[in-house]
Structure 1
């Protein structure tokens, strides 16, 4: 009788199963697919070819999956955080510190934006034709912010019906994260006031949060595919040719973004005694998704998770600070971009800005992002800035040609800042889990978790 034959199962190399290399591979594959799609002829009638349509559908579907998780994640996380903070004395201090650092980083970013705009003179170095200007889809106002705080329904949902030229009607749903925050905070506080009778509700809410986070983890694992599709769509469809007329403006925006991302943020991290390498390796999954998706709200679930699991910010605090940041903390869209764009519009129309005008740009950028909370894109913020300065709103349309291109960098910076501020505040307040912050990444998207513990039972510093 012959001895049984032992067969060895060949395992894939570590780089092939690690999340980081998978994301990089997705980016490279996306660029190649996008270039291929761009070289292919358009379909009949001038519509996108089948490859461009395919990557567009896959990319938008992935962002939609993440966006679906926003409502249950934000609601259950905030209710749970309020319940867990019932015996905490410094919760109000955390909120104040968060808003203060939102303002500090926005102040630094807008000063950099103004400096870059004055040095590069984007409005004087352009060949854009005013007749080619597009029409902005929305505008911002302080009154819209005030009225936007009032929830229209329990889940802050909105519906919009669009009728095509052929008479077909389509209805799409949207939601306002700021209103959702108001609702969740009110429900959480009410549950604490009710007392013992609310314990079953709080227990159910904690279970729902654990379930939502498990589903979210499944969605996040699809990030390499979503990344490849989104970057392929960007390469294939965005108006890269328009950079020729707005090249100096586009370059100026990215210089400003790069200074904040590679200089200001590392300095802030280092000044607080934290590793710059660990911060960027920890926030990287959210940063790259923000870049390709162009959506802070769509990236919100991932931003919150990296802030908790990679950067060591307690869940009770992160579940409040990150969603708030996703609506009001936008160094790219609400500070650097409107500063440079306002200078561009003023130079283009031959309007001299005074010192008072520059001070107004700073004020609007520091506190004005709240006026655009719950909306999408930086166009709304720019209209608010121009109207405050008395500049022609028609100037917004001049920049729409390169909007998708600059929006990628803006959103990446927004998302990174939304994770940075909670990390800084947690460190300053002595509640940052530095062991988790400094944990080796090993190519994984998040630090290792204990599989036997539900999310609500993970280690959290006692003095949140």
Structure 2
């Protein structure tokens, strides 16, 4: 027993980034072992089932923390911005840079597609292809803006019929719309500002709830290495080259395009704003690696916000608004690179020639379409929206779904890398970025709580209300750096 405790203490001293790398290596090893044991997707072996359970449980724990974190953090950040005069400018700059980076990403996707002709080089038949049951439309954005209820919860029921047709099993699952949660929190925050002093007791409760949520969050985040091993191990065990081979060029294009944006475009943009490209990548790396294995921008949101504040120097009052918004509407790979390449692939598979107008439509859909599909099921919805806008066969979606989990890993990692970058760029342009924190050594654990983080972002012992409203670790949002 004593030896086990000593081992755990020693493991806790290992830097968090190294723990994740260990989880990656262990996950790959276990995945290869699980694949060698045999089994099928319908009847997996025990090790594959265990890995899948560990991974899905970890992602679910992260998602459970997201709703209270988003709501309380945004409400507190809006309340703290009551004396700031440029809040609207910050929001406008954020949305502008969402659009700029999306336009760059979709241009890269189209360029790679035209160079490699992924559909012409695909070894796959279009016979028997069926359209996806999940489809995207331009009105989805409006649907996602308005919460269906106070908790923004939705329910879906899946019915599985026995092969004999004699019985059926129904299961109901709950989900939440992050975009509508953001809108709800913004409305409540604005109402607090309007109400004034009478809202202070309510605001104190929200601040306490935020502090409790953050404490629970770090407990979950500490499980990341274990979750990483489960998620990556299950991915290796479940998907092999036999699925990728028919669409090998398309798969390579998605990875190459995403890596160009994540490791080339984003560091270049950081450099153009006087920020170290290396520090950006090292600072955002914990969120990027978690996104890669979890395949969930929403599940990674707490870590993305954490690295934006702690490693990249973004003021907490701004990050608590910008990062949740980015997690729902900024998807440079899922909503730009991938749909562009997929549209070119589907067009070539079905023998449809695309013209300059079609490529301009792809760019338009990529820049504004991610907002139209926010809160829905990722790239599949975005892809159906792109294909339907171009008039391409929706049956092409079915041809690409088999390898979607493999592609979703790099797509999500790229999305999250951009979600961490844009708040840093906007903060730097507005003179509110903590440049010293951005360029600080990464020697200590980037996710370890700071000394002051047992208290809420706006609640510090001995501070006056006025100091709380405008300060965030000594930096006021909207004030000169």
TM-score by length of 1: 0.94
| Residue deviations 1:151-177 (CA, integer Å, cap 9, x gap) | 110111001122332433221100001
Q: CA deviation at 1:46?
A: 5.2
Indicate which of 133, 138, 147 corresponds to 2:143.
Answer: 147
Distance 1:450 1:90 in 2: 30
Distance 2:187 2:202 in 1: 14
Equivalent position of 1:53 in the other structure: 49
Q: Which secondary structure does the structure 2 equivalent of 1:161 belong to? A: strand
Q: Which secondary structure does the structure 2 equivalent of 1:164 belong to? A: strand
Indicate which of 9, 23, 27 corresponds to 2:24.
Answer: 27
Q: CA deviation at 1:86?
A: 0.4
| Residue deviations 1:401-428 (CA, integer Å, cap 9, x gap) | 2111111000000011011100100010
Q: Is the 8 A contact 2:317 2:477 kept in 1?
A: no
Equivalent position of 1:230 in the other structure: 231
| Residue deviations 1:57-90 (CA, integer Å, cap 9, x gap) | 0100000000001110000001001100000000
Q: CA deviation at 1:384?
A: 0.5
How many residues matched? 455
Matching of residue 318 in structure 1 with residue 315 in structure 2: no
Q: CA deviation at 1:135?
A: 4.7
Equivalent position of 2:431 in the other structure: 430
**RMSD between superposed Cα atoms in Å:** 1.9
| Residue deviations 1:217-240 (CA, integer Å, cap 9, x gap) | 111111000001100000001243
| Residue deviations 1:317-351 (CA, integer Å, cap 9, x gap) | 11111111111100010000000111111111111
Equivalent position of 2:421 in the other structure: 420
Distance 2:407 2:229 in 1: 19
Distance 1:258 1:454 in 2: 38
Equivalent position of 1:4 in the other structure: none
Equivalent position of 2:473 in the other structure: 459
User: Which runs of 5 or more structure 2 residues have no equivalent in the other structure?
Assistant: 1-5, 162-166, 461-471
Change beyond 3 A, Cα 1:220–1:448: closer
Query: 1:136-215 alignment to 2 at 5 Å?
Result: 136-165=132-161, 166-215=167-216
Equivalent position of 1:393 in the other structure: 394
Q: Which secondary structure does the structure 1 equivalent of 2:96 belong to? A: helix
Change beyond 3 A, Cα 1:26–1:15: same
| Residue deviations 1:180-212 (CA, integer Å, cap 9, x gap) | 111111111111111111001111111111111
Q: CA deviation at 1:440?
A: 1.8
Query: 1:276-355 alignment to 2 at 5 Å?
Result: 276-355=277-356
Matching of residue 120 in structure 1 with residue 116 in structure 2: yes
User: Which runs of 5 or more structure 1 residues have no equivalent in the other structure?
Assistant: 1-8
Distance 2:42 2:447 in 1: 43
| Residue deviations 1:96-141 (CA, integer Å, cap 9, x gap) | 0000000000000000000000000001001112236465241111
Q: Is the 8 A contact 1:126 1:247 kept in 2?
A: yes
